[in-house]
Every structure is written in C-alpha cells, then in structure tokens.
Amino acid sequence: MDRRDFLRYSLALGATFVFGAKKSHAAFPWLRKGLLPPGMVVIDAHAHPDQFYDSNDPSPDLSSSLEKITALGMWGSNFAVSGDNQDGVTPWPHVIDQVAYVNGLEFERKVKIIRSRDDVLQNLYEKSSIPAAILSLEGASPIGCEAPTGAYPDIDAGLDELFKNGVRMITVMHRGDNQFGVNMSHEGTDGSGLTALGQQLVEGMIKRGMIVDGAHAYYRTLIGMATIARANGVPIIDSHTSLSPRPQPNGSRLRTWKEMEIIVRTGGLICTWPLQWESTELGVRRWTIRDWASENFEIKKRFGAAHIALGTDGGGQLSDMVDGYTSILDLPKLIAAMHRAGFHEWEIELYMGGNFRRVLETCLPV
C-alpha cells in the first residue's frame, strides 16, 4: 500500500469512527466489501487451511481456507502439516501424505509453494492470482522415528525428504516433549531444554534453508534454538502466540517478555494470533479484536515494529477467538484496530506481511 492509499484508508477509518460506517464505506468500496487495502501484502505465518491435516473431521475449523485466502487477496499463507495429535506421533507415511496434499494443490495451480528466495520475489512482484504456500511441519516428532529399534534416528534423511517435497519451516515442538526438546507446558525457567538430537535437527534445518519455529518450545529449549540461530546469523520465530500477563513461564501457550526477547535477539518474530483468554486471578483479559491490536502495539513499543507479525493458527481449532474475529476474512478489522491503536502505515505493513517476508528472504535457499 503506498502513502496515498494509506492516507485514504486512514481517512476512511476516521470517517467510520466519527460519522459511522455507512459514509466511510460509500467512499471506499473495498472496505465495504471486507477486502484488504489496495496493495497490502498479507502473509499468515501459521495456519492449517481447510484443516487439511484431518479431512475426516465432521466439523472442521475453516477460519482459514484456500477459498478465503484467495477471496481476501492474501499474498499467501503457511500450510502446516501435523506431526502429532492427541493420539500420539503421526506416522511418517501420513506426514508425507499431508505434504503430498499441498503439492497436489500446486499441481492443480491453486497455490504456489515457496521453496526459495527467488520464489518469494517472483510471487511478490508478478502479483500472481495464485496465493503462495509456505509448507511446514508442526511437531518434529516423526522425524527419525522410522529407524529400526535401537538404531540412531536418521535425522538428515527425514530432513532431506521433507526439503525435497517443499517443506521450508518446522515447528520443532508441539503437543508435548519429544526427542528434540522440552515443551512449554513446563513452568519456570529451570530444567532441560534442547537435546543433542534437537541441536542436530536445528543445525540441519538452518543448513538446508528452513525456518526454525520456536512455537510451543519451553524457555530452555528456546534458548538452545536461539543460540544456534545466532551462531548462524539467522532469525527464529514463534509463529503463533500472545503476550503473557505473568513475568515467568507458567505452562501456558502465552509468551513472557523474557521469552520474546530470546527470539527478538536473533532478529526474529513474535507472531500473534486471535486466541481469546482471560486471567480472573490477575484481572487481565484479551477479549476483543481491539485487545489483539493493543497487545500488538505493546509488543511493538517494547521491541520495535520489525519483530511482530501475523500468525492466526487458522484451522488449528483454537478454543475461543477474540470478539470481532471469526476467520481471516476479518483481518481488515484488525488492520483498522491497529491503526486506531496508534500504528503507523509502514508498521502495519510490516506486521501483516513485510516482516515474515524478510524472514523468508533471509532463511530460504537462493
């Protein structure tokens, strides 16, 4: 979005607040239609569009879907394969089946899988009508699990197969502790973190040009990931989280300032999601889309606009979502709320897609 478009957008928002929605929508048809501001690049750093990892669910979470991504005009979205579930580790063949599903979407010309920095630039400047797909694995537990009993897990073989099939990001932890490290369901900041296998995995990911996602990782695990990332000059991210009201990790999915700082020091990103929650004990609630925008502003004030991004976990079956948000089609409302919270034009552009694009261009192979 250039400065003139954003100024018109800002005036439209002002008209909404002063005169009501009817007049502002009349001046800006795209706003009335629920579209994004002209030219704005939006990338969702973590999602499971159409809940493709579980096609048998009779009532899937469709808050992110390929249809909605295309209709909204998003530049692209993450497509996260599930590596584990409530029943345990996903069998490796099913992991590959999920990867093949997204590759099938590309074969049908419904998405363009981003495999290299050149792909990022090509999709950005050609303004393709086909959305980009950043293929990832959430939960690395299946990697190496096919090794014979008693044999050392072949991490490199698993990474090679994933990379060959287009996977460019791995969320190392997910539902629980695994062979690579400790999950953030643990409280405090003491104890174990990244294992020797975890170090091998993270180093192998960076070597191949994969993004290291620290979502779900415990404090000490996160430190291990960040140490390796800094040594290699690359960022890590937390692809979907929000700000904890507590000073120390307490076993929830919320990140403390201390944890966020570990990620930011790598040059990485805190990607915030629409999860609704409250702490009756502390008298704090994250209840509305305005609360989401206000939290983004607080993170921006602390670390700068270069370290925040969007990660909705759409398709991930969030327990509750903030009032005003039911799907990615409501992202224009978040843009409006962030403007009202005090964000500048360029800061909103960074949050909605610019920062994650920078991480892609930094980490992916040429």
Tens digits of pLDDT across the chain (366 residues): 444 444 444 444 443 333 334 434 443 355 567 779 888 999 999 999 999 999 889 999 999 999 999 999 999 999 999 999 888 999 999 999 999 999 999 999 999 999 999 999 888 776 667 999 999 999 999 998 875 555 667 999 999 999 999 999 999 999 999 999 999 999 999 989 999 999 999 999 999 999 999 999 999 999 999 999 999 999 999 999 999 999 999 999 999 999 999 999 999 999 999 999 999 999 999 999 999 999 999 999 999 999 999 999 999 999 999 999 999 999 999 998 998 999 998 999 999 999 999 999 999 999
| pLDDT given at position 125 | 73
Please give the torsion angle defined by the CA atoms of residues 38, 353, 75 and 108, in that order, rounded to the nearest 10 degrees. -170
List, in sequence order, every residue forming a beta bridge with 44; answer none if it has no partner: 77
Instruction: Return the beta strands (E) in the chain as ranges.
Output: 43-44, 76-82, 84-85, 88-89, 112-113, 132-138, 167-171, 211-213, 236-241, 269-272, 277-279, 284-286, 308-310
CB-based burial of residue 116 (10 Å sphere; 0-12 exposed, 13-18 middle, 19+ buried)? middle
Buried b vs exposed e over 183-209: b needs ≥16 C-beta within 10 Å? bbbbeeeeeebbbebbbbbbbbbbebb
The C-alpha atoms of residue 166 and residue 153 are separated, in whole angstroms, by 22
Axis crossing angle, helix 196-208 with helix 155-164, rounded to the nearest 10: 30
CB-based burial of residue 88 (10 Å sphere; 0-12 exposed, 13-18 middle, 19+ buried)? exposed
The C-alpha atoms of residue 64 and residue 171 are separated, in whole angstroms, by 19
Which one, of 160, 253, 245, lies nearest residue 205 by Cα?
160
DSSP 131: P
Report whether 301 contacts 343 (CB < 8 A). no
Q: Is this model's pTM higher than 0.75 or not?
A: yes
Please give the C-alpha separations between residue 291 and each of 83, 272, 278, 342, in angstroms, as whole numbers: 31, 12, 11, 13
Tokens of 304: 């700068």
The C-alpha atoms of residue 22 and residue 20 are separated, in whole angstroms, by 6
User: What SS3 state is found at 200?
Assistant: helix
Report whether 272 contacts 311 (CB < 8 A). yes
